């Protein structure tokens, strides 16, 4: 057995997971990288089935982690297509990982959650105690995953947890982001926008999210479970977005009123979170 110094990262071969690994390597932090995808390189990724308790118990027993950063999940349309599998992966695996964390003396569990739990009908930045609107199977599963910790009492058992409700991630590797898609759009393949002024989002750089995940794995907190918004804290309309990155290849479709932005006061207070404030084409493409 090893000393309790490594941090388990599930979903480590995903887009956010790869960026988090890059941060770990820069800081010389010991990561225990788990993925359901077989690695084709010698990057020390451990292939696991997160729903297989015996396999996960063996992994925890061997590596004795100090913390868990849980990124692995089904997302998007997959969640609507197979809600039973979504619950198994996005909720029940979290419950099992919590139990194993208690069993093996893990100190901190960090859950990557989503801003999707708030919906998009606000007209001002939302705080962590704002009312929720669970409009998708993905959002519902992430809220259930949060409740695994919110409804569980671990007083004096040594485990605490932080759920990060992450807003719209952009930057290197985040190819699904509207920011990234606008940056690489061409006249032959323009991006369709749901209006210029009525569609508003909070865009946060992937490296800022990785930094928040790392800080959340070690920072002291004053409760067993805490929820924090992770965004840039700035509402950006489609008009501001195309102006910021100089996007030229886009077309307008039916206008949609949609607003999603984070109040990040708590993340600043608890994590010292200080996100980047500008969106630039070079930054999107990973040149800076």
What tens digit of pLDDT does each residue of 118-129 get? 999 999 999 999
Answer whether residue 106 is part of any domain: yes
What tens digit of pLDDT does each residue of 212-255 get? 999 999 999 989 999 999 999 999 999 999 999 999 999 999 99
Number of domains in the chain: 1
Answer whether residue 249 is part of any domain: no
What tens digit of pLDDT does each residue of 140-189 get? 999 999 999 998 765 557 899 999 999 999 999 999 999 999 999 999 99
Answer whether residue 268 is part of any domain: yes
Answer whether residue 238 is part of any domain: no
Answer whether residue 190 is part of any domain: no
Which residues form the domain of 68? 7-170+203-231+263-277
Provide the CATH number for the domain around residue 268: 3.40.50.720
SS3 string of the chain?
CCCCCCEEEECCCCHHHHHHHHHHHHHCCCEEEEECCCCCCCCCCEECCCCCHHHHHHHHHHHCCCEEEECCCCCCHHHHHCHHHHHHHHHHHHHHHHHHHHHCCCCEEEEEEEHHHHCCECCCCECCCCCCCCCCHHHHHHHHHHHHHHCCCCCCCCCEEEEEEECEEECCCCCCCHHHHHHHCCCCCCEEECCCCCEEECEEEHHHHHHHHHHHCCCCCCCCEEEEEECCCCCEEHHHHHHHHCCCCEEECCCCCEECCECCHHHHHHHCCCCCCCCCHHHHCCCC
Answer whether residue 34 is part of any domain: yes
Answer whether residue 240 is part of any domain: no
Q: Structure pTM? A: 0.94
């Amino acid at each position: 057995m090893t000393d309790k110094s490594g941090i388990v990262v599930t979903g480590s071969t995903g887009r956010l997971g790869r960026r988090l690994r890059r941060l770990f390597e820069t800081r010389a932090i010991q990561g225990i990288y788990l993925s359901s995808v077989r690695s084709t390189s010698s990057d020390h990724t451990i292939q696991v089935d997160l729903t297989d308790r015996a396999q996960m118990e063996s992994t925890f027993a061997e590596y004795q982690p100090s913390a868990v950063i849980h990124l692995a999940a089904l997302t998007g349309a997959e969640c609507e297509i197979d809600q039973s599998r979504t619950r198994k992966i996005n909720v029940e695996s979290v419950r099992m990982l919590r139990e194993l964390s208690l069993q093996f003396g893990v100190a901190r569990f960090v859950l990557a959650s989503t801003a999707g739990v708030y919906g998009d009908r606000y007209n001002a930045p939302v705080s962590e105690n704002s009312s929720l609107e669970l409009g998708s199977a993905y959002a519902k599963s992430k809220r259930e995953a949060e409740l695994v910790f919110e409804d569980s009492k671990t007083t004096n058992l040594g485990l605490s947890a932080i759920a990060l409700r992450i807003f719209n991630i952009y930057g290197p590797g985040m190819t699904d982001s509207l920011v990234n898609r606008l940056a690489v759009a061409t006249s032959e393949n323009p991006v369709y926008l749901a209006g210029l002024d009525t569609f508003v989002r909070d865009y946060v750089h992937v490296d800022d999210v990785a930094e928040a995940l790392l800080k959340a794995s070690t920072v002291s907190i004053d409760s067993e479970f805490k929820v924090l918004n992770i965004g840039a804290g700035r509402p950006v309309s489609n008009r501001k977005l195309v102006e910021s990155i100089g996007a030229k290849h886009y077309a307008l479709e039916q206008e949609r009123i949609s607003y999603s932005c984070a109040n990040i006061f708590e993340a600043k207070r608890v994590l010292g979170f200080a996100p980047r404030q500008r969106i630039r084409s070079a930054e999107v493409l990973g040149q800076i």
